[in-house]
Amino acid sequence: MSERIERPRGTHDVVPAEMARWRHVTDEIERLCALYGYRRILTPAFEDTALFARTSGGGSDVVQKEMYTFTDRSDRSLTLRPEGTAPICRAYVEHGMHRDPQPQKLYTIAPMYRYGAPGRGRYREHWQASVEAIGSGDPSLDAELIQLYDTLLGRLGVCSYHLELNSIGCRDCRPSYLERLRAWLADNDARLDAHTREKAATSPLRVFDNFLAKPEPVREALTEAPTIGGSLCDACVEHFRAVRADLDATGVAYRLVPTLVRGLDYYSRTTFEFVGPMENENSTITGGGRYDYLVEELGGPPTPGIGFGAGIERLLLAMAEDGVEEPPSPGIDVFFALEPGALRSAVVGWLAALRATGVSCDMDYAGRSLKGQLTQAGRLGAAATVVVAGDTATIRRPGGDDTTLPHEAVVSTLSP
RNA sequence: GUGGCGGUAGCUCAGCUGGUAGAGCCCCGGGUUGUGGUCCCGGUGGUCGCGGGUUCGAGUCCCGUCCGCCACCCCA
């Protein structure tokens, strides 16, 4: 035997046995997106490295240590997409969608790539639904998008989760907040630990990350730090109020988390995360927010936008965690089992004729005994099993009476 | 990337202080059975993650490496 080749670290296969669950999730996403007016878009798996380097932010973990970047044979720097928003915005600009009716509601379901340490619910290649509404700053759109995902969780049977919500301000108010925060961090430097100091130097907004893991004195100190919520400009306060009002109106529960900052730098105003029931730390099933400057940064006109990335694998884990039953996989219509001595040539013709009329059917290709063939019919969930003898065939249906027919009548009897 | 735990049949796992590999499920066959379910009998299937070392002898001990999981970190 040759040396065995295994799948690369951090990747996974979706085998047929899992496909019913997988399809259940993606079908529901597609159904909801259609219901909310989102249209599907497909973008390349790799992009110009600059697309992510410029938009995600140089200080972000994604850019700093998680990008799959490579040069092709012409020395172009390319990167396997780590997230879905920037590519969709790039396509929005590139195809002049800003000239189409606004907002453009777009979504994709596609694999994303991040070179991080793998674990449960954490993959180097993972699938995400990326749902984006570009071209409107209406706060109702923020709420609608959040409500869409909330509805998805409900439809999929996930109930152990909560929604964390925050506003991180805009161009007008965030800089002054940052200034105040920086000043506070400098004044209180002695009360911080090394980790927090490091964050304070690179991305001050993130000093609140992982709050619960910090030493008690540091936590105590940070509770005194100014939060963005107290520093929003009037427009941002009003926007956030309107978002919450819509969420209240649609019955979406949320927790205000004034320290919630997202991992990508392009966000502004509304940010949110849905946190699921998983035991380990990878329990964020969806994260998203508003990105009112992203399109502009990509060379388009000033254009607001909002979206989220929903991890498919984590959704599946959350469903498993909540004990959601597997949807029954559909069986085939007809299975042909041959008595010893029956001619296969006739059955081959019947299969083709029935399939042509839309009847799904199959027979044994493993040399099984009749009993084995009947077992196989059961495994395939056949609605009808046809036991083929020399000149006749007997149609069996679970719970029904057997019908024995001459060969000539088989196809017409089984056709719809 | 750092630290901790783990890796035995397709799956879930057993294998005591080193003596040369087992169970259940699955799969295949036979029998039973008023039909494809149940039950009974039998069978196929293992580079013990990989490589090296210690030893008369390694699944078992040591080193390296790969993979998984957990924590840190961050997120989907």
SS (H, E, C) chain A: CCCCCCCCCCCCCCCHHHHHHHHHHHHHHHHHHHHCCCEECCCCCEEEHHHHHHHHCCCCHHHHHCCEEEECCCCCEEEECCCCHHHHHHHHHHCCHHHCCCCEEEEEEEEEECCCCCECCECCEEEEEEEEEECCCCHHHHHHHHHHHHHHHHHHCCCCCEEEEEECCCCCCHHHHHHHHHHHHHHCHHHCCHHHHHHHHHCHHHHHCCHHHCCHHHHHHHCCCCCHHHHCCHHHHHHHHHHHHHHHHCCCCCEECCCCCCCCCCCEEEEEEEECCCCCCCCEEEEEEECCCHHHHCCCCCCCEEEEEEEHHHHHHHHHHCCCCCCCCCCCCEEEEECCCCCHHHHHHHHHHHHHCCCCEEECCCCCCHHHHHHHHHHCCCCEEEEECCCEEEEECCCCCCEEEEHHHHHHHHCC
Number of domains in chain A: 2
The contacts of residue A237 (CB under 8 Å, 6+ apart) are none
Q: How far is the CA of A15 from the C1' of B52 (A)?
A: 36
What mean pLDDT comes out for the span A317-327? 88
Q: Is residue A207 part of a domain?
A: no
CB A175 within 7 Å, strand B: no
Q: How far is the CA of A9 from the C1' of B7 (A)?
A: 15
CB A377 within 7 Å, strand B: yes
Q: Is residue A43 part of a domain?
A: yes
Q: Is residue A105 part of a domain?
A: yes
Round to the nearest angstrom and report the end-to-end CA distance of chain A.
49
What mean pLDDT comes out for the span A261-282? 85
CATH number at residue A372: 3.40.50.800
Residue A199: pLDDT band with limits 50, 70, 90: confident
CB A83 within 7 Å, strand B: yes
Please give the pLDDT value at position A211.
75
Q: Is residue A45 part of a domain?
A: yes
Residues 247-276 of A with CB under 7 A from strand B: 261-264, 273
Q: Are residues A144 and A112 in the same domain?
A: yes
What mean pLDDT comes out for the span A38-56? 93
Tell me: pLDDT of A296 over 70: yes
Please give the pLDDT value at position A381.
92
Please give the pLDDT value at position A130.
98
Please give the pLDDT value at position A230.
81
Please give the pLDDT value at position A254.
97
Q: Are residues A350 and A304 in the same domain?
A: no
What is the per-residue pLDDT across A332-356, written as a single tens digit (0 to 9) for each? Answer: 999 999 998 888 899 999 999 999 9
CB A95 within 7 Å, strand B: no
More confident residue, A145 or A258: A145
Q: Are residues A33 and A115 in the same domain?
A: yes
What mean pLDDT comes out for the span A377-401? 90
What mean pLDDT comes out for the span A293-317? 96
Could you tell me if A18 and A118 are in contact, meaning their C-beta atoms sit under 8 angstroms apart? no
Q: Are residues A345 and A404 in the same domain?
A: yes
Q: Is residue A145 part of a domain?
A: yes
Tell me: pLDDT of A1 over 60: no
Tell me: pLDDT of A170 over 90: yes
Residue A196: pLDDT band with limits 50, 70, 90: confident
Cis peptide upstream of residue A103 (ω within 30 degrees of 0): yes
CATH number at residue A293: 3.30.930.10
Q: Are residues A154 and A254 in the same domain?
A: yes
Q: Are residues A105 and A152 in the same domain?
A: yes
Protein residue closest via CA to C1' of B35: A396
What is the per-residue pLDDT across A367-382, written as a single tens digit (0 to 9) for each? Answer: 999 999 999 999 999 9
Q: Are residues A246 and A385 in the same domain?
A: no
Q: How far is the CA of A4 from the C1' of B51 (A)?
A: 14
ipTM: 0.89
Instruction: Work out the percent of chain A whose per-residue pLDDT is above 90.
Output: 69
Tell me: pLDDT of A265 over 80: no
CB A398 within 7 Å, strand B: yes
Q: How far is the CA of A369 from the C1' of B37 (A)?
A: 18
Q: Are residues A286 and A158 in the same domain?
A: yes
What mean pLDDT comes out for the span A197-216? 79
What mean pLDDT comes out for the span A30-37? 98
Q: Are residues A273 and A346 in the same domain?
A: no
CB A128 within 7 Å, strand B: yes
Q: Is residue A193 part of a domain?
A: no
Q: Are residues A24 and A155 in the same domain?
A: yes
What is the per-residue pLDDT across A105-156, written as a single tens digit (0 to 9) for each? Answer: 999 999 999 999 999 999 999 999 999 999 999 999 999 999 999 999 999 9
Domain span at residue A66?
16-173+232-321
What mean pLDDT comes out for the span A30-50? 97
Q: Are residues A405 and A280 in the same domain?
A: no
Q: Are residues A295 and A338 in the same domain?
A: no
Tell me: pLDDT of A93 over 90: yes
Q: How far is the CA of A90 from the C1' of B33 (A)?
A: 66
pTM of the model: 0.91
Mean pLDDT of chain A: 91
Q: Is residue A180 part of a domain?
A: no
Q: Is residue A208 part of a domain?
A: no
Tell me: pLDDT of A59 over 70: no
From A289, A321, A353, the end of a domain falls on: A321
CB A292 within 7 Å, strand B: no
From A272, A293, A321, the end of a domain falls on: A321
Tell me: pLDDT of A298 over 80: yes
Which bases in strand B are touched by protein, i.e. have an atom under 7 Å from a CB?
1-3, 27-33, 35-37, 47, 66-76
Please give the pLDDT value at position A2.
63
CB A403 within 7 Å, strand B: no
